Amino acid sequence: MKDLLDEDSLKYKYFIENCEKIAKNYGYSYIETPSLEETALFKRSVGESSDIVNKEMYQFLDKGGNDVCLRPEGTAGIVRAFVQNKFDKAGVAKRYFYHGPMFRYERPQKGRLRCFHQFGVESFGQKNVTEDATVIAMLAQIFAYFGIDTTLKLNSLGCSECMPKYKEGLLEYLQELSHALCEDCNNRIATNPIRVLDCKNQSCQNLLKDAPKITQNLCAECDEDFKRLQKLLDVANISYEIDTNLVRGLDYYNKSAFEFVSDKIGAQSSIAGGGRYDKLVEYLDGKATYGVGFAIGVERLLDLIETPKSTREGYMLVSSSKEGIQKLFVKAQALRLESQAILEYSPKNLKNALKLADKNSALYLLYIGDDELAQDKIWMKNLSTKDESLIDF
């Protein structure tokens, strides 16, 4: 785990604040859910067989004997909140953005943190594929805003009608190949065959080249939606690659799946991912509700982000005497109603006062020396224009 401070915290704030601004432009509002949830929630939503649930959960019994867990991701808690507030029964559409710490008990390794941050959005109640195109457009806008080069990968995972049929065909194909595939692949053939497509092993990938593709086995509705999504991205000038190996391990994901990758932080590293999850709300005991969303891993991006050069702002207040400092304490409180004001507590001469103002990037120095104290005045200097003046207290 790592502290966020100084340069890192500035970058973090800068990133989150601009993501928020963009998400608000799309009609999203902020949701905050607890960092701690019942373990059962994640077992059901993230999936009992996933690595996250098997090995990486920050899970413990609290003093009341409840089996709880620090959230490994954001979606499950938000779906729980959506259902708990009965929005599913009311059939209302909701659009939320969230950000905050997520926790995974990973083996310590470079670039992996046990406490990391995500920014994400979840949209509930929209069946129209325009919503999928819109959340993708939002992500593209976020990366463009920060000048991060990305490649968008796109796939369709079909629906409960076409996916199972596709899976059957794929399974037949894989079983004939199984002797040549790696051990991981063989495990997945038994548990979750479409995850075989995801294998990082190049020799497996070579064997899988001629495997049946989901995009060629979609039902009429899924096919139409997938084509419509591509059309919408085309007209919005968002480029993409179809990647039929982009799959998810869980049944409640359907139709659009997407991922933004970047070469700037290692070869083709994923920096954001998302898609449609029309079955998740039902899966977590709610009334069936359409859903689509994405999540961005923040830490990996911070190295790629340049914060704007900090400009001078606010006031530095310094005096040569205790009496002057006491007067400036009152002045600082008045200024703080509108601007930044930093008060120095020990007496300083003018030369050191100017240095302090510089160090704190203040736009104005307010100084009370002995003369100013006697006259009940403040000497003010604009450190940008270098204008000086004597003002009334």
Q: How far is the CB of 187 from Zn ion (least distance, A)?
A: 9
Structure tokens at 182: 């790696």
Quick check: helix, strand or coil at residue 88?
A: helix
Sign of CA dihedral 319, 321, 322, 323: negative
Minimum CB distance to Zn ion, residue 282 (Å): 17
> Shortest Cβ distance from residue 135 to Zn ion (Å)?
20
Shortest distance, position 219 Cβ to Zn ion, whole Å: 3
Cβ closest to Zn ion, residue 201 vs residue 245: 201
SS3 81: helix
Q: Given the complex with Zn ion, which of 218 and 378 has the nearer CB atom? A: 218
Q: Name the residue nearer to Zn ion (CB basis): 9 or 128.
A: 128
Q: In what order do the strands lie in the sheet with 29-30?
A: 29-30, 94-103, 115-124, 291-297, 269-276, 254-262, 151-156, 241-242
Please identify, using beta-carbon distances, which residue of 228 and 264 lies nearer to Zn ion: 228
User: Is residue 137 a contact point for Zn ion (CB under 5 A)?
Assistant: no
Task: Single out the residue of 95, 83, 82 nearest to residue 26, CA to CA.
Answer: 95
Could you give the maximum distance between any two Cα atoms of the chain, in Å? 95
Site for Zn ion (CB under 5 A): which residue of 41, 137, 219, 383?
A: 219
Instruction: For residues 191 and 323, give the distance between their C-alpha atoms in angstroms, rounded to a whole number.
Output: 77
> What single-letter amino acid sits at 365?
L
The pair phi, psi for residue 155, each rounded to 5°, is -150, 165
Whose Cβ is closer to Zn ion: residue 67's or residue 161's? 161
| Positive or negative torsion for Cα 115, 121, 127, 128 | negative
Nearest to Zn ion of 211, 380 (CB atom): 211
End-to-end CA separation in angstroms for the chain: 48
Backbone angles phi, psi at 271, to 5 degrees: -115, -15
CB of 13 to Zn ion, least distance (A): 41
Tokens of 342: 């930093």
Measured from the CB atom, the residue of 154 and 199 that comes closer to Zn ion is 199
Residues 292 and 123: beta-carbon distance below 8 Å: yes
Task: Tell me how far apart the alpha carbons of residues 385 and 293 are, in angstroms, rounded to a whole number.
Answer: 48
Smallest separation, CB 200 to Zn ion (Å): 8
Q: What's the token pair of residue 352?
A: 């050191």
Report the C-alpha gap between 135 and 15 in whole angstroms.
Answer: 18
**Number of residues lying near Zn ion (CB under 5 A):** 11
Minimum distance from residue 44 beta carbon to Zn ion (Å):
24
Binding track, positions 176-215, relative to Zn ion; x by CB under 5 A: ------x--x-------------x-x--x-----------
- Scanning 3-11, 108-116, 150-158, 232-240 for contacts with Zn ion by CB under 5 A, the matching segment is 150-158
Residues 156-175 that bind Zn ion (CB under 5 A): 158-159, 161-162
- Closest distance of CB 292 from Zn ion, Å: 16
DSSP secondary structure letters along 124-170: ES--STHHHHHHHHHHHHHHHHTT---EEEEEE---TTHHHHHHHHH
Question: To the nearest whole angstrom, how small is the minimum distance from the Cβ of residue 220 to Zn ion?
Answer: 8
Of the residues 222, 257, 296, 357, which one makes contact with Zn ion according to CB under 5 A: 222
Give min distance, CB of 46 to Zn ion, in A. Answer: 22
274 near 292, Cβ under 8 Å? yes
Nearer of residues 280 and 298 to Zn ion, judged by Cβ: 280
Query: Per DSSP, what are the bridge partners of residue 155?
Result: 257
Give whichever of 181 and 366 is closer to Zn ion, judged by the CB atom: 181
Say if CB 4 and CB 294 are below 8 A apart. Answer: no
Element at 24 (helix H, strand E): helix 6-25
Pick 138 or 222: Cβ nearer Zn ion: 222
Region 294-323 residues binding Zn ion, contact defined as CB under 5 A: none
* Residues of this chain that bind Zn ion (CB under 5 A): 158-159, 161-162, 182, 185, 199, 201, 204, 219, 222
